[in-house]
Amino acid sequence: MKDLKIDTEDNLHAEAWAKSTARNKLPKHVPPDHPSQYGNFSLPRNQQNWVDPSVPDHTLRPQEPYEGFNQPSENQSNHPHNPSSVQDIGLQMNDIIEINKILDWDPRTMLSNLSFLKQKIHQLQDLVDLIVGRRSPTMGRPDELVTQQQQLITADLTSIIVQLISTAGSLLPSVKNSLSAAGPSIPAEQLGQLGGVILNTSSSVNAAALPLSSDGGTKVIADQPNPVDPTSHLVIEHLDEHESKDEEDVEDGENLPPGSYEILQLEKEEILAPHTHFCTICGKGFKRDANLRMHMRGHGDEYKTPAALAKPHKDTGSEPVLIKRYSCPYVGCKRNKDHKKFQPLKTILCVKNHYKRTHCDKRYTCSRCNTKKFSVIADLKTHEKHCGKDKWLCSCGTTFSRKDKLFGHITLFQGHTPAIPLDEAKGQAGPSTQGETNEESHKLGNMNFGFASDGEVQDLMEDVKGMVDEPSGYYSPLTFDSSNFGGFNEFPRPSFDDPEGAFSFLIPGSCNYTRKSGGESTSTNNLS
């Protein structure tokens, strides 16, 4: 148990690191209260140097320390160059109790991960020892060699931190909900984000080469000569994931670095529930907690105290509040955290509206036109304000308020054609051919191409999007090592059948596939 404790300490330590890296990467987001906490690392510049293959020290790196894989050692001594992060650990010690609680839920996976981490930390410790031992003969060397050595350690630490944070993902209080429901796993997206952030500075240098050559990636990132080390592959995976993340960030207006916010995911039932706050006494539901508290006053005097009426959890502790972002529970949706191009939703209201609009039936029909359907009542009301003013009509039934929008729609979709309003066709008919013309225009009006309503069109659009977003569409099948995936399937894995089980690739032995190739989501799709 002591071991575990120490490991989790490390875990936290790593989290602090992750933060620091994120800040280094995006200086704009550095909170002013910790301006120089990790300044001595100055990661971006140094790591750039480090990944340069021409640096001579790269090849001079000693091999010996890896013999002592299983040597037990003090964890604290692993980080002689980072006293400030050690302080951080002290600050966050009080969370350990909570961690233990979480660990109770996921003993097996966590254990395997931690033992794996232990190995790695020992490895690193030996390396540092070696460097310390060699310091005296290399005294005469220029300072840059020293910094290079520092960078070596930084890299190793980085890879460890990735896993630590992955393991520590379950510690985050926000994930508790989903964990309790979905089983003992950590949201893969979050994991990926953290890993990605940490390694971003190094990977960005030859990012272009990374997805193509996994070998190069191994060298650069893991900085470990041991080729069978599964962690190096893990790191590559994170890199891949991170890259797509980066692209998405560029697109997204909100340029939050992944990992700088926590992701919450409400369950479908929660989203669709009309009320989110229920009275524990009478069961009445409320949309707002404040209203519930007002209601509670009726249940007795004990609820009338200012303390009971006050907003709970208002105390702002010393630790900064993480920005919250939301994920859609619908698997495969772009707003779902497992999606390759995940775009988080900003508020709970966004989640609700998104889920209803995209994944629910459109139950509300416009009483004026009887064609437009909506799943969010506010949308219906907005539409009803303008209904009847949309005079530009497509053969698919979609109406537009502007002609250029209609033509843009027609340009986009094969087979859609502008529809002639009924009254015009009627007005044109001569008296003798009235009947025929009416019939004709009726036919024109109903000329559909398989889309009876706009809802279906939207569905189609969703489908199209889905296809585009399908990761396998981005990668050629040649880069997809299917035999490894066979192994992936065979590996016994208790937590894998839950949709968020991407965490499972941390399990040793399952990571021996060489390329990422969007394998994560594919395998998840196959298995779930």
How far apart are the C-alpha atoms of 225 and 64, rounded to whole Å?
A: 11
Q: Which of residues 387 and 429 has its CB atom nearest to another protein in the complex?
A: 429
**Full DSSP string of 259-301:** TSEEEEE--HHHHH-S-SEE-TTT--EESSHHHHHHHHGGG-G
Q: Which of residues 151 and 398 has its CB atom nearest to another protein in the complex?
A: 398
111: which residues sit within 8 A by CB, 6+ positions away? none
CB atoms within 10 A of CB 448: 16
Nearest distance from C-beta of residue 412 to another protein, angstroms: 10
Q: Which of residues 376 and 394 has its CB atom nearest to another protein in the complex?
A: 394
Q: Which residues of this protein are in contact with another protein, per CB under 8 A?
A: 392, 403-404, 407, 410-411, 415-420, 424-425, 428-430, 433, 436-437, 439-441, 444
Question: Contacts from 129-136 at CB under 8 Å and sequence distance 24+?
Answer: 129/65, 130/62, 130/64, 130/65, 132/80, 134/62
Residue 31, class by beta-carbon neighbours within 10 Å (0-12 exposed, 13-18 middle, 19+ buried)? Answer: exposed
Nearest distance from C-beta of residue 436 to another protein, angstroms: 4
Do 88 and 181 contact (CB within 8 A), yes or no?
A: no
Block residue for tokens 């989790």: 8
How far apart are the C-alpha atoms of 269 and 416, rounded to whole Å?
A: 37
In the numeric block, which tokens belong to residue 356? 């209803």
Nearest distance from C-beta of residue 411 to another protein, angstroms: 5
Q: Coil, strand or helix: which one is 285? A: strand
Backbone angles phi, psi at 265, to 5 degrees: -130, 115
Nearest distance from C-beta of residue 19 to another protein, angstroms: 49
Nearest distance from C-beta of residue 282 to another protein, angstroms: 59
CB atoms within 10 A of CB 217: 26
Q: Which of residues 161 and 406 has its CB atom nearest to another protein in the complex?
A: 406
Nearest distance from C-beta of residue 218 to another protein, angstroms: 46
Q: Which of residues 303 and 407 has its CB atom nearest to another protein in the complex?
A: 407
Q: Which of residues 205 and 393 has its CB atom nearest to another protein in the complex?
A: 393
Q: Which of residues 208 and 412 has its CB atom nearest to another protein in the complex?
A: 412
Nearest distance from C-beta of residue 53 to another protein, angstroms: 44
Look at residues 58, 60, 61 and name the one whose alpha carbon lies nearest to residue 50. Answer: 58
